[in-house]
Copies of this chain bind each other. A is one copy, B any other.
């Protein structure tokens, strides 16, 4: 039977064998929520890069460039890290280069070994779950966390995906159990559950409360971003 496992932060990725796994990277606030929103609104491709410098180089080559550090837009770039910025008709068909504090780094870390790297968020939870059910591989949910640390919202997404897949996959590892039980405890009021998390407090200080409620919505979009080479595209 296929198994599903959870890596609570990219700093623990070395503990996981992923040669036979599809890795689902999640960074709920806000990178993977933005990516999902972008593809749902017609963006053609997103190149996730680990550093601001790489992102700047791609901007010079003509990409629409999005760079975020510490939850704020880096000066000189075209787009910030709010999902609302990607609901823009001018971005239909666009090729974007993106770097964020945590999310894009996780994608670049996973791509060397995994069978496939997908982008997951609450916004496309059902679409990701349905795609995975059709595949024969194990699944690892890779939570982007915050600068190496575990966070609440990414762990909750991991738990939601474990719950969605529990009848089709073995759930054998404690990190997957922890995530699944957290989600079970939280799902009736996700917003209330994450209200005291460190990153929500960080985002609230920056005045982006509406991003938080947006990113916690389930199944708004039927799109599965997948990494092909170095580039994310809609499957």
Q: Interface residues, chain A, CB within 8 Å of chain B?
A: 8-9, 11-12, 14-15, 146-152, 155, 172-175, 177-178, 181-182, 185, 196-199
Count of identical protomers in the assembly: 2
Nearest B residue to A147, CB-CB = B15
A198 touches B174 (CB 8 A): yes
B148 touches A12 (CB 8 A): yes
> Can you list 23 residue pairs at the A/B interface with Cβ under 8 Å?
A8-B8, A8-B150, A9-B12, A12-B149, A15-B147, A15-B148, A15-B149, A149-B173, A149-B174, A149-B175, A150-B174, A150-B175, A151-B174, A155-B174, A155-B178, A174-B197, A177-B196, A177-B197, A178-B178, A181-B182, A181-B185, A182-B182, A185-B185
**A182 to B183 Cα, complex, angstroms:** 11
**A11 to B151 Cα, complex, angstroms:** 16
Chain B residues, CB < 8 A from A199: 174
Q: Give which listed residue, B8, B12, B152, B175, contacts A177 with CB less than 8 A.
A: B152
